[in-house]
A and B are shown apart, each in its own frame.
Chain A
Amino acid sequence: MADIKTIIASRVAKELKDGDVVNLGIGLPTMVANYIPKGIEVIFQSENGFVGLGPVPDKGNENVDIVNAGAQYVSVIPGAQFFDSATSFGIIRGKHVDVTILGALEVDQKGNLANWIIPGKMVPGMGGAMDLVVGAKKVIIAMQHTQKGKHKILKECTLPYTALNVVDMIITEMGVMEITPGGIYLKEIRSEFTPEQVQAATGAELIISSDLKIWK
């Protein structure tokens, strides 16, 4: 069986539409680029200043002037464009990015997100995350459903917020959830799990969709 990160990344990729401009966070979200369905062309933005992000080059073929937002050497595809940081974030806040995919420490039923700081423990800085989730048209959280059994999907976040009311969708190894004004809808469930198991792993009440799909 594929590992959990691969399972999540490949499912997230199916949410992307032809022509979407997409920004991927570091870690698991970066893997989404490897699973774009055939026939779909998406354009990746890198918030440090370009559109048209391509694959990681082979060792020895790196261009030292091209890094992604995680400081890895990457490539650009034909037709790519570079910008300064103010233009790059104008693209982001100006709603020119269709989808941003990020990880989370916590998400709550109002779509509030906490993913940048654990006070006293981890203070890396928010980087571009606060701008991305406020500015992108659609925010998808790609993460493991729990942190070693501890709930991450909650009634209310306990960690400092990245932004309020911004998350549209959560995709985990258990299923696909949509945040709506009425609460969190479980839209799709992986065939290995029952709705009761997903609920038990979730710290907020799930509304089970009337046409719950099975994700095989």
Chain B
Amino acid sequence: MKNKTKTVYEAVENIKDGAVIMVGGFMATGTPEIIIDALVKKNIKNLTVICNDAGVPGRGVGKLLSNGQINTLIASHVGLNPEVAQRMNTDVEEDKLNCILIPQGTLAERIRAGGSGLGGFLTPTGVGTIVSEDKQVITIKGRDYLLEEPLRADFALIRGSVTDRFGNTIYNCSTRNFNPLMAMAADAVIVGTEKIVEIGELDPNFVMTSGIFIDVVVGGEKPWQI
């Protein structure tokens, strides 16, 4: 199988202004920091970022936000990064952040649908709330559901713990979260990983994300230092 390892700068070469990018991680646990750092250095703008949350200042998606690179953020929870509220409410028009909030389970399932060839799904979550505005309500066996559409991106940036050169990936503990879903839901997928191993070294029984979803493998992720 093909060796997909590249340098981080080669990996982000095709990501341009205005790109739609999924970023794995939950409060930055499971976010590929080295790829985020490369995007900060590249300083591309007007990004639409799809991530569970806004990370924290100085970590994960929070770095892109602080650097003014995100135009639209699609997330489930942004309350732990105070910069989000500041940017949503700023009077400076070009700094204004468009923040779209989606229930976490719906966000996960929309990404799963996007990567799995589904036209959408029906969920009871959000019925009768703000979330249901402009959405079709469908009643099945007497219960109301919202029709939720699939979500896809131009790029997905995911974080692995151990990845072989083909891209087969294993996630440690709670770093898994949105990563396996996003790996299937973008046109180009970059994995930043802590440990690169040779093809054939991973036990096929324990591969969590198939390398067929992965376009580029980048090594050098480090455990977060508390």
A interface list, Cβ under 8 A from B: 46-50, 62-67, 69, 71, 73, 76, 82-86, 88-89, 92-93, 117, 122-131, 134-135, 160-164
Bound CA–CA A135/B105 (angstroms): 10
**A59 nearest CB neighbor, chain B only:** B226
Pull 9 A–B residue pairs with CB atoms less than 8 Å apart, ordered by A.
A49-B26, A62-B226, A82-B174, A85-B104, A123-B99, A124-B79, A127-B77, A130-B103, A134-B125
**B108 nearest CB neighbor, chain A only:** A85
**B81 nearest CB neighbor, chain A only:** A124
Bound CA–CA A76/B78 (angstroms): 26
Which residue from B27, B85, B126, B175 sits with its C-beta under 8 Å from A130?
B126
B223 in contact (CB, < 8 A): yes
Chain A residues positioned under 8 Å from B161 (CB to CB): 65
Chain B residues positioned under 8 Å from A71 (CB to CB): 26-27, 29, 56, 80
**B88 nearest CB neighbor, chain A only:** A123
Bound CA–CA A92/B125 (angstroms): 11
Chain B residues positioned under 8 Å from A163 (CB to CB): 125-129
A62 to chain B, nearest CB (A): 6
B31 to chain A, nearest CB (A): 12
Interface size band for B: 35 or more
Whether the pair B181, A84 counts as a contact (CB closer than 8 A) is: yes
Which residue from A64, A123, A127, A164 sits with its C-beta under 8 Å from B104?
A127
Chain A residues positioned under 8 Å from B26 (CB to CB): 48-49, 67, 69, 71, 85
B133 to chain A, nearest CB (A): 11
A44 to chain B, nearest CB (A): 13
Given contacts A67-B27, A128-B76, 13 further A-B contacts (CB under 8 A): A50-B174, A64-B29, A64-B226, A71-B29, A71-B80, A73-B226, A76-B173, A84-B108, A85-B104, A126-B131, A131-B125, A134-B125, A160-B130
B193 in contact (CB, < 8 A): no
B179 in contact (CB, < 8 A): yes
Which residue from B29, B56, B107, B179 sits with its C-beta under 8 Å from A84?
B179
Whether the pair A128, B104 counts as a contact (CB closer than 8 A) is: yes
B106 in contact (CB, < 8 A): yes
**B131 nearest CB neighbor, chain A only:** A130
A75 to chain B, nearest CB (A): 10
Whether the pair A125, B174 counts as a contact (CB closer than 8 A) is: no
> Which chain B residues (65-87) contact chain A, with CB distance < 8 Å?
75-80, 85
**A92 nearest CB neighbor, chain B only:** B105
Chain A residues positioned under 8 Å from B101 (CB to CB): 123, 125-126
**B172 nearest CB neighbor, chain A only:** A65
